[in-house]
Structure 1
Amino acid sequence: MNAPHPPKVAGIDPTVPTPAHTVAPASPTHDAGPSADTTPSVPAPAAPAPGALLQDRLAGWVSDLTTLHELTERLCRTDALEPALEELLRAGSALVGARRGLVVLEPGDGLGPRTTLGLGLGRADLGHMETVPRGSLPYGALLDTGANTGSGTNTATSTGTSAEIVHADLLAEDGLDPRHREVAARLGYAASYALPLSAASGRLGAAVWLYDEPAEPDEHRRHLIGLYVRHAAEHLALLVEVERARARTATITEELLPSRLPRVPGVQLAARHRTGPRGGGDWYDALPLPDAALGLSVGSVTGSGPSAVAAMGRLRASLRAYAVMEGEDPVAVLSDLELLLRLTEPARSATALFAYCEPALRKVTLAGAGHSPPLLIGERRTEFAETSVSAPLGMLACWEAPSVEVQAEAGETVLLYTDGLLHRTGDPMDRAFARLHAAAASIPRSLRSDPGAMADHVLRTVLPGGLDAADSEEDVVLLAARFD
């Protein structure tokens, strides 16, 4: 056991440097008479000017407020949960003078989201900390009960609804959990300072900063970090609600889409779907039809959010009914769908593409309403089907467009997609179409027997550099049908 020694006080590395406020010393006066002693003398320290102490104190307050204003402004510019947590850790690190830290998001209502994020700690480091018994972690008591606990040199204080847990010298504590001692030695931290994340809506989690040597923030630094964390917790509470709303919308969207694709002899199917943060109205469907036929559809309802998701569900369900009754005539299917949309939801429009597939003949009859043409991918050709240009559903008094027949060869794949795939690229439409064509043409031969692998390749190639991230504004749908 290490010998106990007095902890030092951690300083602060402010993001805004504190201006120096000094008072110039009064100039010494000398007697110019002939009897004056010419030997230089050390002037006595000048007394502070009236109000100098008050001026310095006010200057310190202004500096603190400036620092907090800059940090909270940077935090408020974050619009997603993970960047906000990262900013919280960086700002807290500067305020308490610690190099590393972690934040545990664990809302008290149990509804999530739950996550752990580290500053200066890798995934393996966080994994080591998770092996420590929860009650022995530097922040464990804040998550379990929020009550103040203490053992050894650990101190915990509480003011109102805020609390803190300070381990000024972990390795010198008699009651430290052996596993915690082992992990602290492995990761190289000797002290910690933890604060709860609590908002008006309840507990959100806890944040802890780790010191490489025995240390603790002084009272002034604790006051600053307390002010900052209280503001940060309210901002995080709003982002948690946004994240929950996004998750609920995404869940509803997924439930409105097929949970699995049908198995139809002569054709293999695969689908990929990416939902935007507000929830969009893109859909896909694959429906077995009489006479061993197959109906394929993709489409997009205008708008975003729960109303667009609900409209998408109604439109997709209606299209399935029309496909069962008259699927062999795609123009009739879309005409009925357009009439329904115009009568029941006159303020909304949609694009759609419906394809009637006969796998035994490898023949596809399709019609589109303002939708991008499907892509035919094979060993000897990669080309867009030449569908006629037509208006979206709900835009004209009466929609009408001719159908197109596509004859596929054995081993060829028909790729249906929504416009979100093109919009996520950020390119003009002509370049986006060229990018999609190049991505389809570059599919390796080893992947062409698997429509799912082909769809994944197209996504990775068309949307590189994170454009396929879940928080993109546009929905994306890919539906691939490979004919045997």
Structure 2
Amino acid sequence: MLDIPLRVRVHVETPPAAQNDMGVCDAFEQNAPVGKPDAMNAPHPPKVAGIDSTVPSPAQTVPPAPLAPGTPPVTAPSTPAAPGPVLQDRLAGWVSDLTTLHELTERLARTDTLPEALEELLRAGSALVGARRGLVVLEPADGRGPDTTVGLGLGRADLGHIETVPRGALSYGRILDGLPGGDSEIAQPDLFAEDGLDPRHREVAARLGYAASYALPLHSETAGRLGAAVWLYDEPAEPGERARHLAGLYTRCATEHLARLLEVERTRADMATLREELLPSRLPRVAGVQLAARHRTGPLGGGDWYDALPLPDAALGLAVGSVTGSGPSAVAAMGRLRASLRAYAVMEGEDPVAVLSDLELLLRLTEPARSATALFAYCEPALNKITLAGAGHCPPLLIGERRTEFVETSVSAPLGMLACWEAPGVEFQAEAGETVLLYTDGLLHRTGDATDRAFARLHSAAAGVPRALRDDPDAVVDHVLRTMLPDGLDAADSPEDVVLLAARFE
């Protein structure tokens, strides 16, 4: 048996539990072999924010050569001092600033509309620059609008007073008009100490009680200049360098968010204009009939529509319908369908089945991938007689003093669903003072109820119209709309359009 001397020294002074609590580097230093240089076992200065500030000494592989006689000793360079409280305070300040900006931008990102975003911009900027009041003027440079002014701590009258000051004398006016110095921040730490301050500006500032202002442009690289934001101080003051830096960073982020919301706002406005142009601008006046209509649409724009047009022989044509889908394509299809129905109604309106048959053939030939529901009624006011036909549409509701009931119509498929559509027409008599209510299924869907329960709610709402309001079709449709969709649900954004068309026979 060979006698092999042991040359491994094991440290047993450090318990395993203590080693588990140490880092990898600390464990190696604690268990380093005896005889190594002391620098390997020297304690490390504390680490700051994950940065190891220790500069390790170069390893001595050979002993230093002896100095020649008369040679002065070489002094080793001093070891850099460990980071002190100043660096720690600076790092803590950066972390605090980043946290503040993150919280403010998160709040801004949760805004869905342009007015909400403008108000949040003013509140956040007020906290950053230390001002109590302010205003933001939205005036896109491309001239497409919308132009608006929103105030913080300023009422309509206060904003009106500020607007009486010549535009070039205001800081935001210089920014919006591109005057010299208007391409960056404009600080006015003491308005009343400025030479050449416009007299009207001095008068308004004294009246509203502000003595200093700080303005920033709202400029986006993609959208260009959108407007300007101004914060007002009650006493002579101006934000410090750190506050200006944070306000500038936040404003640049806010401007990009405003640019996106601005495009959404413009798209909604264009869609609303398009829908208004495709729907009747006003209802016709026909002897013996009073008309009223309501149209509510969602943010994407839907395909629900209505129409009322005079026909030969003192007749009146009433129509409601809905095209599948939403957005610009559905709105365009709705316009084509409505225009086609008007033409067919003029030619053969006394036969509603023929009108819808022609409409179904046109839809199947020109837009085979789309379907639609429709209801057309041919009214003879002199006789209070109504003939109608429906294609997959909800039945009309007859509202009178002695009855409130749905008109029985035959069950039929929507247009474009079958190879050939045809359904029998329905003829009924409306008594004097009764109102015929046509509507789209969006009124039922917006309630969130099952179909049978939604129909029951509609019948109850129509039956509950007060007697004093039954002679006014506008009051009737408003009452039904508020009862079916309370708490502003009729005006809330929804993917479902709502159309009501009422005709009261005298």
Coarse TM-score class (shorter-chain normalised): 0.7 to 0.9
Instruction: Verify: 1:419 aligned to 2:452, yes or no.
Output: no
Q: Secondary structure at the match of 1:261?
A: coil
Instruction: Verify: 1:225 aligned to 2:247, yes or no.
Output: yes
The whole-number CA distance in structure 1 between the counterparts of 2:218 and 2:109 is 16
Larger Rg: 2
**Counterpart residue number, 1:44:** none
Match of 2:118 among 64, 72, 85: 85
Match of 2:372 among 333, 350, 353: 350
Structure 1: unaligned runs, 5 residues or longer: 1-20, 22-47, 150-161
**Counterpart residue number, 1:168:** 189
Instruction: Verify: 1:335 aligned to 2:357, yes or no.
Output: yes
Change (3 A) 1:139 1:383: same
Instruction: Verify: 1:437 aligned to 2:435, yes or no.
Output: no
Q: Secondary structure at the match of 1:139?
A: helix
The whole-number CA distance in structure 2 between the counterparts of 1:469 and 1:214 is 46
Structure 1 length as normaliser, TM-score?
0.82
Match of 1:192 among 210, 213, 218: 213
CA RMSD of aligned residues (A): 2.3
Of 134-143 and 236-245, the range deviating more from structure 2: 134-143
Q: Is the 8 A contact 1:264 1:294 kept in 2?
A: yes
Change (3 A) 1:282 1:72: same
1:70-101 deviations in whole A, cap 9, x for unaligned?
22222223232122212212221221122222
Of 218-227 and 285-294, the range deviating more from structure 2: 285-294
Instruction: Verify: 1:209 aligned to 2:231, yes or no.
Output: yes
The whole-number CA distance in structure 2 between the counterparts of 1:325 and 1:82 is 49
The whole-number CA distance in structure 2 between the counterparts of 1:431 and 1:318 is 34
Structure 2 length as normaliser, TM-score?
0.78
Q: 1:60 is matched by which residue type in structure 2?
A: G
**Counterpart residue number, 1:272:** 294
Q: Secondary structure at the match of 1:217?
A: coil
Q: 1:126 is matched by which residue type in structure 2?
A: L
Q: 2:167 is matched by which residue type in structure 1?
A: R
Q: Which has the higher contact order (CA 8 A, sep 6+)?
A: 1
Q: Is the 8 A contact 1:277 1:470 kept in 2?
A: no
Deviation for aligned residue 1:307: 0.8
| TM alignment of 1:233-382, pairs within 5 A | 233-382=255-404
Q: 2:287 is matched by which residue type in structure 1?
A: P
The whole-number CA distance in structure 2 between the counterparts of 1:268 and 1:471 is 30
Change (3 A) 1:98 1:430: farther
Of 324-333 and 410-419, the range deviating more from structure 2: 324-333
Deviation for aligned residue 1:109: 1.2
Change (3 A) 1:371 1:287: same
Deviation for aligned residue 1:185: 3.4
Q: 2:355 is matched by which residue type in structure 1?
A: V
Of 223-232 and 180-189, the range deviating more from structure 2: 180-189
Q: Secondary structure at the match of 1:481?
A: strand
**Counterpart residue number, 2:430:** 408
The whole-number CA distance in structure 1 between the counterparts of 2:445 and 2:208 is 45
**Counterpart residue number, 1:97:** 130
Give identity over the alignment, percent: 84
The whole-number CA distance in structure 1 between the counterparts of 2:199 and 2:491 is 42
Change (3 A) 1:73 1:181: same
1:82-130 deviations in whole A, cap 9, x for unaligned?
2221221222122112222221111111111111112222333323322
**Counterpart residue number, 1:390:** 412
Deviation for aligned residue 1:241: 1.5
Change (3 A) 1:426 1:217: farther
Q: 2:198 is matched by which residue type in structure 1?
A: D
The whole-number CA distance in structure 2 between the counterparts of 1:208 and 1:445 is 55
**Counterpart residue number, 2:25:** none
**Counterpart residue number, 2:146:** 113
The whole-number CA distance in structure 2 between the counterparts of 1:207 and 1:385 is 58
1:239-265 deviations in whole A, cap 9, x for unaligned?
111211221122122111122222221
1:133-175 deviations in whole A, cap 9, x for unaligned?
32233422112225316xxxxxxxxxxxx51122223344453
Deviation for aligned residue 1:280: 1.6
Of 168-177 and 194-203, the range deviating more from structure 2: 168-177
Of 384-393 and 430-439, the range deviating more from structure 2: 430-439
1:397-450 deviations in whole A, cap 9, x for unaligned?
333333222321111111212222333344444444344334333434343333
| TM alignment of 1:5-24, pairs within 5 A | none
1:2-43 deviations in whole A, cap 9, x for unaligned?
xxxxxxxxxxxxxxxxxxx9xxxxxxxxxxxxxxxxxxxxxx
Q: 1:181 is matched by which residue type in structure 2?
A: R
The whole-number CA distance in structure 2 between the counterparts of 1:228 and 1:144 is 23
Structure 2: unaligned runs, 5 residues or longer: 1-48, 50-80
Q: Secondary structure at the match of 2:238?
A: strand
Instruction: Verify: 1:462 aligned to 2:484, yes or no.
Output: yes
The whole-number CA distance in structure 2 between the counterparts of 1:301 and 1:447 is 32
Q: 1:307 is matched by which residue type in structure 2?
A: S
Q: Secondary structure at the match of 1:343?
A: helix
- Equivalenced residue count is 426
Instruction: Verify: 1:125 aligned to 2:158, yes or no.
Output: yes
| TM alignment of 1:130-149, pairs within 5 A | 130-148=163-181
Deviation for aligned residue 1:222: 0.6
